[in-house]
Structure formats: structure tokens, C-alpha cells
Amino acid sequence: AAATVTLPAVVVVGTTPLLGIGTPLSKVPANVQTVRAAALDAQHRMTLADYFAANLQSVTISDAQGNPYQADLNYRGFTASPLLGTPQGLSVFVDGVRVNEPFGDVVNWDILPMQAIDRMQLIPGSNPVYGRNTLGGALAITTKNGKSSPGGEAEVSGGSWGRVSGSVEQGGTIGSNLDYYATANVAHDGGWADHNESRVRQVFGKLRYTDADTTLSVAAGGADNALYGSQTIPRSFLDNRKQAYTYPDLNRNSAAYLTLSGDHFFSDHVELSGNLYYRHLRNTNTSSNNNTDYGSVDDDGGVDTLQGSNAQSTIVTDSYGGSLQLTLLGKLFGLSNQLVSGVAVDVANSSYVASSQDAYFTDTRAAVGIGGFVPRTDANTRNANLGIYVSDALSLTPHWTLTLSGRYDRSRSKIGDESGVQPLLDGDHTFSRFNPAVGLNWNPVPGFTAYATYNEGMRAPTAIELACADPAAPCSLPNDFVADPALKPVISKTFEAGMRGRIGAATTWSAAAYRTTLTDDIAFISDPASAQGYFRNVGDTRRQGIELAGRTQFGPLGVGLSYSYVDATYRSSWTERSPANSAADASGNVTVKPGDRIPGIPAHTVKLRLDYAATPSWDIGMNATWRSGVYARGDENNQDANGRIAGYLLVDLDMRYRITKRFEVFASVTNLFDKRYASFGVLGQNFFNGPNHTFDGAQPVNEQFVGPGAPRGAWVGVRYAWD
């Protein structure tokens, strides 16, 4: 009898925001990284950002806020962050819906429950098909359904810092055409540091109809979360890494969303898909700040003795829109061809209200309010975005594939003053551009692919950037708006070339090199004495690097290893005010020159993942992550005497033991060797130099502030599953 030959499965990835037929990975000119639900389940990470930082190439996190749910995620030197004031460079989609919030393009990682995720794909580069803000990459998340995730399970866990969590999920089918999936979870974390407690509550559900040709689904979810942050602290505070600089700092997110999706095959060669969505978000932020004018004398000889202030802001956003996409499989000039075209419309209305309250600081640096809150800003913004895209993959020969793509984006942002006292705030800004892409794949033999690609993207300035762009009138983010000069859109141009392959049945490898250049990049220029600053175009910047990765299996031991190099530099000369920088001139200014490294982005990252099946029921895993040092914000000229924030190595462990088919216990340890480290830094003035770090506003000291990382933590949990 003839021997049975098992062919490797054909890996299909999504190459557009909407779900559809997809494209075989061998024909995709990019180093796409895919994560499946099983990998998330195995490691029991607290947040998505934490999982990415430990496992994906060229991904790191920066903890600027002191809360694990509010970390900045950096990929190839581009950022997706929940914090206003962070220039965003990555777009994020959930089931084809863009979830970068219209007000500031921020990404709230705390809204979607991790257990609802079926698959994630991290797509690199300025792929224009993914629309605005895709300067450095896009993250596409697909949620579970009742057919792919049947049965149910309940899970509870607890451990260090009073962290306790519980979740439940259930999926299944109803008859031959309906399936459903639902999940809910609650989590409470007392926080490893002072005043950085978290309370998270999330729900998600999906109902689908499917037959041979059609899929219709309705998905809905929501979240109600309270996240406290401890801010960065001066290096002089590191005698007690748990202490907060000032407090309270609280971020509340209340969200609800609804998505209607449809997909229909008119034939084996024609597919039409689309969606409609509505999202509601209410974000309330409370922060404590120093009075940078403490001790100043007014024209009448009065001395300002106010120590600080409490700032409050509320952003309410209603966003809605839809997409339609047509996929055609057929022949072009007698060659196999896949043509995808689509249109997307996104509209959002946001109200922004900010107020402030005078305050004094206690000996523990709590900001205690004096009197009531005084309104500062009352504004409405309206964003309307239109995108029309097309992508064509033509098989020139059985071994060569040419991909041509393009997208036209038009983005309009209107800002209106609702208070009646800031009429100059009113503005109407429109940005538009056609962004092209071209890629070429070569597959000479099964299990090997080489590719090269060039693509362009655009990021239109957000409302918060447009309304906070005057150096003479800096803003307290996220606390006030003023009338400002217009900003230019950011244009990205990316080259990438790479190879990937498979050796035998157990080994995969990949290598990629890329360069992304931004024209008219936008940066937030901060005032080191306060939370204030402004946005400006700073000329050209460049991110370039390499990615090397491999994974193999040695019997019961799986080994994954990756190395990433990111060279992120400014390519233009510009001047910023940074008086806390030791290299500043007499006016407090520093000059940034071409070649200076962009703060916050480590040049080198090495990641190791080990999976060991000790027995058929017992799995043990380990992550080791090393990253090199970074410069602090405010040290854009790389000359401050404090130098870089040191690199570090973190080792994490995870374990699960299946007692029965249905019952499982698991455990995890983070920062096994209790490394003291910081992932983020910023130059600033320390106003708390009195005894025991009490307020001394008359003698602020320039220091490097850092975001300390969490010490060693350990958690255990149980999971029970049913059919």
C-alpha cells in the first residue's frame, strides 16, 4: 500500500479589517504574528499587553500610569496607549470594528474580556487597507462563537496583592443553524503599590445564524472599570518603590457596544461581508497635580501659596459606523487572482468637560480639595471618516504572487465650544490622502516564503491634538483645550523584506527587516514642572530594525526564541523646552538632532518561551524577557546626566494540572527573581523634597521620574469545564 503523506495545514490570515475568506500566509508579504485562545489560556496573563510583551516580536510595554490595565504597548517603535497625550501609531480592530477611541485614538485594553478572544493577528507596517492611524501596524482581534468554542467553564483565582478574579463562559448550538457564546468576569486587584487598586467588570455575548452560504451575527458587550494609578516617582523616592508621588489618580471607563455582522457567498468565488456597529464610552479621570507657580509674586505683591490642584475631566463618546466588503476569486489574464474591495464609514460625537479644584497636600502627598470644582473647558467634537480600499493578489506563477493595495481616507474633525467663553476653540479640520502598497511573495518550495513590500499610511491629528498645539498655551492632559494652530497629518512610508519557513513537522522560523519613515511626526512636548504640554509636528522620525524568530519541539519540550532590534531615531532638528534636562541652555531649551534616539523604545529585546509537558496532565511553562535600556521623555537629545533607564531581565512561570477531564488547577509567578526595574521614565521637577518627601514647592529639584515595575507575584486558581 502507498505510504500516507500528511501535508502541513494551510495557514490563512486576514488581510483586511473585515472577516472574510482571508489569504494563505504564503501569499502575505508581511511578518504576521498570530495568537490563539489556547496560548492565552496556558499563560493566565492578567492583561493583553502583558501577554504581548512576554511573547511577541518587537513588542514592549511602558508603565507610565502605574496601573497594569493602562500600560502603553509599543510595537516596532509605535504605540497603542490608553493615555491621552500619547501619539498613537497602531490601529486595533475587534471583529472588524476599529476600537481606537475617536477622542485621542486611545486604546482601552480593559474593555474586552480576554477569555472572549478566539484569535489575534498582529500585522506589521503601514498597511493602508487598515485605514487611518496604521503607521506601524494593526492588531486584528476575532472573538469566539458557539461552534468554535462549545461547552462552558468557570474559573476563580487569587494571590498576591489581594488580586482575586472570577469568570464564566458558555458556548453552544441551538438546532442546526444557531450558535451562541457568552462570557463575564470580575476582577479586583489591591495593587502592589500604594493607591493603584483596580476593579474590572466585563461582559460579552454573541448570537449567530449560519447556513451553507450565510453567516449573520449580533455581538454585544460592556465594561465598568475603576483603575487607580500611582504615577511615575522621582528616583529619590526609590527608597520605597511602593509609594505614590501624589494621589488620587483615578480613571473610570464605562462602555457598551453592539456589532451586527454578515457574510454571504453568492458562489464559491464571490463573497460579500459587512458590519454595523455602535459604541458608547464614558471616561472619567481624576488627577492630582502640583502648582508650578508656587511662590510666584503677582503685580500687587501677593505670593502664590497654593500647593496644588485636583483636575477632573469627563469624556462621553458615541461612535457608530459600518463597512462593506466584496471578495472576488477568479482569473485575471488567465492567472489566479483574489480581489478585495471595501468601504468604511465611521462617525463619532464626543463631549468633553473639564474642571479643577484648588488643593493642598498632606504629609503622605494626598491632594485634599479646597472649595468646589471650577469649570475650565466644555467642548464637543465630531469626527467623520470615510475609507475606500482595494487589494488584489495576483498569482503570477505557481511560485510568485504580486499584491497591490490602496486606500483613500478622508477624515474630518470639528471642535465646538459649548461654554460660550472660548469661541476661538471652534475649528473644522479635514485631512485626506490616497495611500498605496505593493508586495511580492516568492514560494520556490513548500515550507519556504520570501517577500518584499512597500506601503504608506496616514494619521490625521486627533481632536485633542488639534486643540492643544500652542506652546504659548499648554494643556493639562486630559484637562483642558485652547484655540491652537493647525497640525499636519503624519505620513508613514514602510519598506519590509523577510523570509519564513518550516523545517520538518516541528520547526518554524522567520526573519524580517524593515524601515518606516514618518513625515511631520507629532509629539507631545511636556512641561517638566507640571502635567502640561502641547502637541507639535517635529519633522521626520524613523523606525527601522530586524526580527528573528524560531520555534521547535524536542519531544515534550517546546522552545520558542526571538530577537528584535528597533532603531528609533529623530531625523530632523528641532528645539523643545526641557529645563529638567541637565543639558538644557539658560532658557531651559534643548536641541534635538538627527540620530537622537526616541525615548521609551528599547533597541534590543530577546524573548524565550519554554513549554514542557511533564506528564499528559501536567504542563509547565516559562517566559524569559530581556530588553535594553531606554531614554526618558524630556531627554529627546539623549544628553541628560541621568542617562538611560537600565534594561532588565524578567522570568515568569506558569503551570496547570488537569486532575480530571473537567477539573484543572493552575498557578503563575511573575518576576520570579524579584527584579527591581522600571519600564518608563520622564524628566521632571520634584516638589516633594521636605522631610519624608513632604511638599517643598519653593525648592523643586530636577530629577528623572520612573515607572517602577511590579515585584514578584504569585497566583493560583481552579477551572471547571463542562460540555
pLDDT tens by residue, 183-207: 999 999 999 999 999 999 999 999 9
For the cut 80, the answer to whether the pLDDT of residue 133 exceeds it is yes
Residue 1 has pLDDT above 60, yes or no: no
What integer is the mean pLDDT of 73-89? 91
* Confidence tier at 528 by pLDDT (50, 70, 90): low
Q: Among candidates 445, 463, 458, which has minimal Cα distance to 519? A: 458
Residue 3 counted as domain residue:
no
In a domain, 7, yes or no: no
Backbone angles phi and psi of 50, in degrees to 5: -65, -40
Tell me if residue 75 falls in helix, strand or coil.
Answer: strand
Contact 121, 139 (CB under 8 A): yes
pLDDT confidence of residue 472: 66
- Helix count (H) and strand count (E) of the chain? 3, 40
Domain with residue 717: its CATH number is 2.40.170.20
Domain that holds residue 522: 12-296+303-722
Kindly tell me if the per-residue pLDDT of 116 is higher than 90: yes
pLDDT digits (tens, 9 = 90+) for 687-715: 999 999 999 988 899 999 999 999 999 99
Enter the C-alpha cell of residue 673.
527573581
Interior angle at CA 155, CA 153 and CA 159, nearest 5? 170
pLDDT at 479 over 50: no
What are the tens digits of pLDDT across the range 544-564? 999 999 999 999 999 999 999
Residue 363, in any domain of the structure: yes
Do β-strands 475-476 and 250-267 pair in parallel, antiparallel, or remain unpaired?
Answer: unpaired
Across the range 232-238, mean pLDDT stands at 94
pLDDT, tens digit (0-9, with 9 covering 90-100), for 341-375: 999 999 999 999 999 999 999 999 999 999 999 99
A 10 A CB-CB count for 174 gives 11
Residue (of 307, 252, 227) closest to 530 by Cα position: 307
Mean pLDDT across the chain: 92
Q: How many domains does the chain have?
A: 1
Helix ranges restricted to H, 44-146 = 48-55
Beta-carbon contacts of residue 631 (< 8 Å; ≥ 6 apart)? 597, 598, 599, 600, 638, 640, 644, 645, 681
Q: Is the pLDDT of residue 464 over 80?
A: no
Q: From CA 568, how far away is CA 628, in angstroms rounded?
A: 13
- The torsion angles phi and psi of 135, rounded to 5 degrees, stand at -85, -40
CB-based burial label for 330 (10 Å; 0-12, 13-18, 19+) = exposed
Q: Cell 463562559 appears where? A: 169
Using CA atoms, how far apart are residues 34 and 324, in angstroms rounded to an integer?
A: 25
Q: What is the pLDDT of residue 440?
A: 98
- Asked if residue 489 belongs to a domain, the reply is yes
Residue 476 domain-assigned?
yes
* Cα Rg of the chain, angstroms: 26
> Taking residues 557-585, what's their average pLDDT?
95
Residues facing residue 531 across a β-bridge: none
Structure confidence at residue 290 (pLDDT)? 86
* Stretch among 82-86, 119-123, 372-376, 406-410 having the lowest mean pLDDT: 82-86
Using DSSP's 3-state secondary structure scheme, residue 267 falls into strand
> Does residue 162 fall inside a structural domain?
yes
Among 566, 580, 701, CA closest to 57: 566
Taking only the tens place, the pLDDT of each residue in 418-451 is 777 666 677 888 999 999 999 999 999 999 999 9
On whether residue 233 sits in a domain, the answer given is yes
Over pLDDT 70: what percentage of the chain? 94
Of 459, 433, 386, the residue nearest 104 (C-alpha): 459
On whether residue 1 sits in a domain, the answer given is no
Tens of pLDDT, residue by residue over 626-672, are: 999 999 999 999 999 999 999 999 999 999 999 999 999 999 999 99
Nearest CA to 40 out of 671, 666, 677 is that of 666
Q: What is the C-alpha to C-alpha distance for residues 622 and 611, in angstroms, rounded to an integer?
A: 7
